[in-house]
A and B are shown apart, each in its own frame.
Chain A
Amino acid sequence: MKGRLLLAVPLLLLAAFAGVALWRLSSPPDTVIRSRLEGQTLPQFSLPAALPDRPTVTSAEFADGQPKLLNVFASWCVPCIAEAPVLLELKRRGVRIEAIAIRDRPEDIAAFLDRHGDPFLGIGSDLDSKVQMTLGSSGVPESFVVDGRGTIRYQHVGPIMPQDMATVLAEMEKAK
């Protein structure tokens, strides 16, 4: 009897392996990489202005007592187009939005803002993604809620869609 049971062990192992494989295939692990800097002070950075007639954004501006939304975007980023109207709506509701353009050209940024609206106060140009990496951001678009003391309170990975607006507004409120 004991020998019979032992014979079944490989089959059981195979079944267990197949079960785990099927489970992982049907619900793959989350591939979103969040920044570990949530709850920490915004790292220091300074960037050249993305557009000649517009102010840029630096880390120093964030410790002025007012919570802000730091949006990481690019004119070549398709989901950023979907996010644009939501950012405009956030601005209409009083959210101060600063922006960092990743690997972008002034003429492309200007065309993007002309076409999809311009909710930004300052726009910095991050030509080699260095500031993006400094923030622990892994793609475009991403947004950070930074409180008035310059602490990162919340990170939103991916475009802020209409259904995310309540969360972002609540986080902005909490950051006051």
Chain B
Amino acid sequence: MSGARSQSGRPSTTVLYAILIALAAPAFADSNLPPSVWADRQLPDARQEAQATALMHEIRCLVCQGQSVADSDAELAGDMRALIRQRIAAGEKPSDVRAWLVERYGDWVSFDPPVKPLTWPLWAAPIIILLAGGLLAARKLRRRK
């Protein structure tokens, strides 16, 4: 029925719904305030900016959890970039800023996991895999001779 009506030139309910959905605001709400001043502005000191940017790539966004705060467009990620820039501009070391965030959100928030009992398989895996591969290759090569 609705298909036939749309052919006659009047918008079908399907088209109407499609337009309404396209116009609807996304459920992922954002505030009405502009981004923080230092969210997307570089620090005047190039060395500090480089430190801050490096850290931003290693801090995980709390909203878009697979992204770093450097890559995320979430408002909170912008606020985290601003926090990182301001703390580094105030003279804090990147490791201190990272520690401040880890203290609040856990190791999870850092893309550079610390070496501790829980994470040693993570760090040992590449070495073990390389050794196993080398052993296999050595055996294969010896057999061929």
Contacting residue for B33 out of A36, A104, A132, A138, CB 8 A: A104
Residues on B with C-beta less than 8 A from A127 are 33
A102 CB–B CB distance under 8 Å: yes
B31 partner, pick from A36, A37, A76, A78, beta carbons under 8 A: A76
**Contacting residues, chain B, for A35 (C-beta < 8 A):** 104-105
Check A136–B31 contact: CB distance below 8 A: no
B43 within 8 A of A: no
Q: What residues of chain B lie closer than 8 Å to A34, measured between beta carbons?
A: 106
Query: Interface digits, B67-111 against A, CB 8 Å rule (1 contact, 0 not)?
Result: 000000001100110110000000000000000010111101100
Given contacts A130-B83, A139-B63, contact A103 B104 (CB under 8 A): no
Residues in B neighbouring A129, C-beta threshold 8 A: 75-76, 79-80
- Interface range on chain A: under 10, 10 to 19, 20 to 34, or 35 or more? 20 to 34
Chain A facing B: main interface SS: loop
Give Cα A129 to B31, complex, Å: 11
Contact bitstring A2-31, B, C-beta under 8 A = 1, else 0: 000000000000000000000000000001
Q: Is the CB of A36 within 8 A of B105?
A: yes
Using a CB–CB distance below 8 Å, which chain A residues touch chain B? 31, 33-37, 74, 76-78, 102-105, 108, 127-130, 132-136, 138-139
User: Beyond A76-B29, A138-B62: 16 further Cβ-contacts under 8 Å?
Assistant: A33-B62, A33-B108, A36-B104, A36-B105, A77-B29, A103-B31, A103-B32, A104-B31, A104-B32, A105-B32, A128-B79, A129-B79, A134-B104, A138-B63, A138-B105, A139-B62
Q: In the complex, which residues of chain B have a beta carbon less than 8 angstroms from the beta carbon of A33?
A: 62, 65, 105-106, 108-109
Q: List 27 A-B contacts (CB under 8 A).
A: A33-B62, A33-B105, A33-B109, A36-B104, A37-B104, A74-B31, A76-B31, A76-B32, A77-B29, A78-B27, A103-B31, A103-B33, A104-B31, A127-B33, A128-B79, A128-B83, A129-B75, A129-B79, A129-B80, A130-B79, A132-B76, A133-B80, A133-B104, A135-B104, A136-B105, A138-B62, A139-B62
Which residues from chain B sit less than 8 Å from chain A, CB to CB? 27, 29-33, 36, 62-63, 65, 75-76, 79-80, 82-83, 101, 103-106, 108-109
Chain B residues near A77 (CB-CB < 8 A): 29
A residues near B104, Cβ cutoff 8 Å: 35-37, 133-136
Min Cβ gap B52→A in Å is 16
Q: Is the CB of A78 within 8 A of B32?
A: no
Q: Which residues of A contact B79 (CB under 8 A)?
A: 103, 128-130, 133
